Amino acid sequence: MKVIKYPKREDWSTILARPTKTVKDIETTVNQIFEDVQRNGDKAIQKYTSMFDGVVLDSIRVSSEEIEEAIKTISEDLKKAIEVAKSNITCFHKAQQTDRVYVETMSGVTCWQEKRPIQKVGLYIPGGTAPLFSTVLMLAIPANIAGCSEIVLCTPPSANGKIANEILYAAQLCGVTKIFKVGGIQAIAGLTFGTATIPEVYKIFGPGNQFVTVAKQLATKYSVAIDMPAGPSELLVMADDTAIPAYVASDLLSQAEHGVDSQVILVSTSKKLVEAVNKEIKRQVKALPRIVIATKAIENSTSILVKSTSEALDLINEYGPEHFIVCTKNTAYFTDNIANAGSVFIGNYTPESAGDYASGTNHTLPTNGFSKAYSGVNLDSFTKSITFQKISKQGIKNIGKSIELMAEAEGLEAHKKAVSIRLESLKKGK
Amino acid sequence: MKVIKYPKREDWSTILARPTKTVKDIETTVNQIFEDVQRNGDKAIQKYTSMFDGVVLDSIRVSSEEIEEAIKTISEDLKKAIEVAKSNITCFHKAQQTDRVYVETMSGVTCWQEKRPIQKVGLYIPGGTAPLFSTVLMLAIPANIAGCSEIVLCTPPSANGKIANEILYAAQLCGVTKIFKVGGIQAIAGLTFGTATIPEVYKIFGPGNQFVTVAKQLATKYSVAIDMPAGPSELLVMADDTAIPAYVASDLLSQAEHGVDSQVILVSTSKKLVEAVNKEIKRQVKALPRIVIATKAIENSTSILVKSTSEALDLINEYGPEHFIVCTKNTAYFTDNIANAGSVFIGNYTPESAGDYASGTNHTLPTNGFSKAYSGVNLDSFTKSITFQKISKQGIKNIGKSIELMAEAEGLEAHKKAVSIRLESLKKGK
């Protein structure tokens, strides 16, 4: 890791700059595939599946037989592990349920807010060498708790036309209603427009490569909501001499193995800690199967020495990390004052891996500084709140004059009259 | 209004279709102005203010003297009306505050979720003939309750370089921190990139014409969040013979006066009611100053006769209206089962105007069918939730094995090792 010692505040934005990518070229491709899927439906889906995934499928819908087969292949140990994760994720997301908010704002004027499930949601799970079944848990479990009635999962098939057993296992376990062997841009287009086979949905969740990211962005132009904009995964660790260097190194490496564009930052007030962590990284990286990726990501990463914890806090809030591990003597200072972060991990025995898989928190988090305005996926991501109001005869008498005056001042006479006509009738004792 | 009697289900989507607009031409303009503001800051802002608003301003920031002057011009009556609205909006949005969610998901594994304010928010208020100061209340009050530290308001100046007194009055009353005389695309670009004068913000709220709408959409590409996508305002009224036709007509007209593209729909099981409402509309529209706009909007609108309340509910849920008035014998059937709507108004004495101005609910609502996935603006729109977790030594012993197994199954060895290294140390009694 590069070590930057006591940088000036005006240099922070340069030091913390994330690599930005131009997506102009991708946009043209994405637009074309969207138009094709909108016009030609399943036929276009089949064409792009053949083109990008190298397989021609008779049926893209996963059958119950395929699911049954997949279940058999999962070891009892892994099933138990997934059960623990499911139980914890369920527990934490159920706890996020809220009662309706009911208020009589003035006599006779009652207002309330209720959350209702988004009826149809789409979950995108990337394919590739590693089956990211943990993301199935992170999305399908809260969708189910929220009460979404249609939970559609799309994931690309491998060249043999199959989907990883772990993904199928997790999907059936967590209440996914339909699973399709469709990936990439064509999957997002299918969920956006619907085809004879794939149902259209109201909101699309899940990670993906840059093609999927641009496709999700385009989906929003067609009135489909998305969970959040995407970007490379990030970890920032704040550590002082109370941190155990070997643990910190292992956490930084777990982030680094994601990809060469992973963002890994260590912030510390202790020169000694920074040196010890860097030494540990060199030692531990050798044992990793993904050594090439991790080494490259670590080379692009930065250790930043700062003068004080308050300076550290400011710097961290300016960056707004997706994952934020705090291993310091006074962790409360950071947890009380952190303004921008996706998820915070506290102390020496709380690795990011815990939140990635099993502790209960969601691992779909705002990266790329989006934590300044976006929440990670949570129960509310699968609901929307609707407001209600009921005004009694006395209520409209109490509030009517105010509405009339304001509507008049805005020059909206019909808005005023909708109140006046009621007040006049009530005056006449009707 | 066109009257459509007992349409078939397969025709609903055609009947309920909203007019869609192509924005390709606008996009080019918006892109150019964004690039100019990003490069040239305040100079570009000045250029476009001169071009679009016809005024050259020495200073775009509203001074405290201007605010003092504005306050003096507001009548005591209007001040009192605004005070009532402010009090109700504050009451309803304060009631939406939630405690942190704290759970020990398994022994030694604690997870919690806390909401923190979005630090910097931008509020856009359209200019034009009518000063939409009610929107200032709807956005600034919850921003203030949420604890946003920078609340920046942009609104276009009139040709004399001024902003409506009502907007300035409402802004200072509701805790806006900075007010700028900047409108249109250049305002959204200024809030996105920041200039020497205008601070950059993390999320932009507020309505606007199609230029502002496209600009807000573009802002999301530069990592700025927005409240929701926009579209023409809508009202759907469900009424039976218990509804008072004159009231229903007044509500439909209050929506119709917004613009010729306003969407107004009446759904009913009663032919008699539909006829009576249409008669009332013809009578009432004559008295409106905006008769031309309202007449045109009503001509484009539809009354739909349906066979049953259950059919009505299905049709309404398929449409997902922004505003939904229900005036029927059994209102609970609709309020219990409505899945897609922005805000619901119940009974004969609850006109949409109440929610537009003063009852306490927010009037920034999802239109264009976005209610299927989006909430209206509420307190949470100004916050994001951050998750936290802390695992004890015993906790990592309890959960560690599950994490290791799942990480291994996903082929992420470093994720596994971040746990293993801790478990091994603990085994050695370190």
A203 and B373 Cβ atoms separated by less than 8 Å: yes
Question: Does residue B386 belong to any structural domain of this protein?
Answer: no
Q: Is the pLDDT of residue B258 over 90?
A: no
Average pLDDT of chain B is: 95
The size of the A-B interface in CB pairs under 8 A is 419
Rounded Cα–Cα distance for residues B144 and B382 (Å): 9
pLDDT value for A306: 97
Nearest CA to B169 out of B198, B137, B191 is that of B137
pLDDT value for A20: 66
pLDDT confidence of A258, banded at 50, 70, 90?
Answer: confident
Whether A112 and A142 map to the same domain: the answer is: yes
Question: Does residue B301 belong to any structural domain of this protein?
Answer: yes
Whether A61 and A175 map to the same domain: the answer is: yes
pLDDT value for A21: 66
| Overall average pLDDT of the B98-108 stretch | 97
CB contact under 8 A, B358 and A402: yes
Higher local confidence (pLDDT), B301 or B402: B402
Cα angle for residues B280, B285, B290 (degrees, 5° grid): 160
Distance from CA of A61 to the nearest CA of B (A): 24
pLDDT value for A247: 98
How far does Cα A408 stand from its chain's mean position?
Answer: 44
pLDDT confidence of B259, banded at 50, 70, 90?
Answer: confident
Question: Does residue A102 belong to any structural domain of this protein?
Answer: yes
Query: Is A63 an interface residue toward B (CB < 8 Å)?
Result: no
Task: Name B113's bridge partners.
Answer: B101, B387
Query: Which amino acid does the sequence have at B205?
Result: F
Boundary residue ending a domain (A191, A226, A261): A226
Task: Return the percentage of chain B with pLDDT > 70, whole number.
Answer: 99
Whether B348 and B400 map to the same domain: the answer is: no
B184 and B48 Cβ atoms separated by less than 8 Å: yes
Which A residues in the span 226-255 are in contact with B, Cβ-Cβ below 8 Å? 229, 244, 246-247, 250-251, 253-254
Whether B296 and B317 map to the same domain: the answer is: yes
pLDDT value for A430: 55
- Which residues on chain A are in Cβ contact (under 8 Å) with B232? none
B144 and B177 Cβ atoms separated by less than 8 Å: no
Distance from CA of B213 to the nearest CA of A (A): 12
Question: What angle do the packed helices B393-409 and A76-94 form, to 10 degrees?
Answer: 120
Rounded Cα–Cα distance for residues B430 and A352 (Å): 21
Among A223, A255, A362, the residue to mutate for chain B (most B Cβ within 10 A): A223
Determine the length of chain B: 430
Question: Does residue A369 belong to any structural domain of this protein?
Answer: no
Q: Is the pLDDT of residue B430 over 60?
A: no
pLDDT value for B20: 66
Determine the length of chain A: 430
Rounded Cα–Cα distance for residues B62 and B59 (Å): 8
- Which residues on chain B are in Cβ contact (under 8 Å) with A425? 244, 246
Q: Determine whether the annotation assigns residue A93 to a binding site.
A: no
Which A residues in the span 1-30 are in contact with B, Cβ-Cβ below 8 Å? none
Give the CATH number for residue B332: 3.40.50.1980
Whether A191 and A333 map to the same domain: the answer is: no
Whether A153 and A242 map to the same domain: the answer is: no
pLDDT value for B130: 73
Whether A171 and A276 map to the same domain: the answer is: no
Question: Does residue A376 belong to any structural domain of this protein?
Answer: no
CB contact under 8 A, B134 and A410: yes
Whether A102 and A192 map to the same domain: the answer is: yes
How far does Cα B210 stand from its chain's mean position?
Answer: 15
Domain count, chain B: 3
| Overall average pLDDT of the A20-38 stretch | 87
CB contact under 8 A, A353 and B418: yes
Query: Is A194 an interface residue toward B (CB < 8 Å)?
Result: no
Q: Is the pLDDT of residue B129 over 80?
A: no
Task: Return the percentage of chain A with pLDDT > 90, whole number.
Answer: 88
Whether A321 and A218 map to the same domain: the answer is: no
Higher local confidence (pLDDT), B101 or B21: B101
CB contact under 8 A, A370 and B134: no
Rounded Cα–Cα distance for residues A355 and B389 (Å): 8
pLDDT value for A259: 86
pLDDT confidence of B323, banded at 50, 70, 90?
Answer: very high
Query: Is A131 an interface residue toward B (CB < 8 Å)?
Result: yes
pLDDT value for B22: 66
Q: What residues of B are labeled active site?
A: 322-323
Which A residues in the span 309-348 are in contact with B, Cβ-Cβ below 8 Å? 335, 338-348
Query: Is A199 an interface residue toward B (CB < 8 Å)?
Result: no
| Overall average pLDDT of the A250-275 stretch | 94
Which B residues in the span 283-312 are in contact with A, Cβ-Cβ below 8 Å? 284, 287-290, 294
pLDDT value for B81: 98
Question: Does residue B68 belong to any structural domain of this protein?
Answer: yes
B78, closest residue in chain A (CA to CA): A405
pLDDT confidence of A265, banded at 50, 70, 90?
Answer: very high
Distance from CA of B116 to the nearest CA of A (A): 6
Q: Determine whether the annotation assigns residue A119 to a binding site.
A: no
- Which residues on chain A are in Cβ contact (under 8 Å) with B414? 250, 253-254, 256-257, 288, 290, 294
Question: Does residue B299 belong to any structural domain of this protein?
Answer: yes
Q: Determine whether the annotation assigns residue A363 to a binding site.
A: no
pLDDT confidence of A386, banded at 50, 70, 90?
Answer: very high
| Overall average pLDDT of the A167-173 stretch | 97
Query: Is B223 an interface residue toward A (CB < 8 Å)?
Result: yes
Average pLDDT of chain A is: 95
pLDDT confidence of A129, banded at 50, 70, 90?
Answer: low
Boundary residue ending a domain (B338, B360, B382): B360
| Overall average pLDDT of the A192-205 stretch | 98
CB contact under 8 A, A374 and B388: no
Whether B152 and B78 map to the same domain: the answer is: yes
- Selecting from A87, A88, A130 the residue whose C-beta is nearest the C-beta of B412 gives A130
Nearest CA to B390 out of B12, B106, B173, B18 is that of B106
pLDDT digits (tens, 9 = 90+) for B333-370: 999 999 999 999 999 999 999 999 999 999 999 999 99
Whether A356 and A412 map to the same domain: the answer is: no
pLDDT digits (tens, 9 = 90+) for A327-379: 999 999 999 999 999 999 999 999 999 999 999 999 999 999 999 999 999 99
CB contact under 8 A, A344 and B387: yes
CB contact under 8 A, B344 and A386: yes
Domain hosting residue B246, numbered range = 2-19+232-360
Boundary residue ending a domain (B226, B249, B266): B226
Question: Does residue B365 belong to any structural domain of this protein?
Answer: no
pLDDT value for B399: 98
How far from B248 is each of A38, B20, B108, B164, CA to CA, in Å? 39, 27, 59, 32
Which B residues in the span 355-374 are in contact with A, Cβ-Cβ below 8 Å? 355-362, 366, 368-374
Give the CATH number for residue B408: 1.20.5.1300
Rounded Cα–Cα distance for residues A423 and A103 (Å): 23
Distance from CA of A87 to the nearest CA of B (A): 8
CB contact under 8 A, A414 and B256: yes
Whether A272 and A415 map to the same domain: the answer is: no
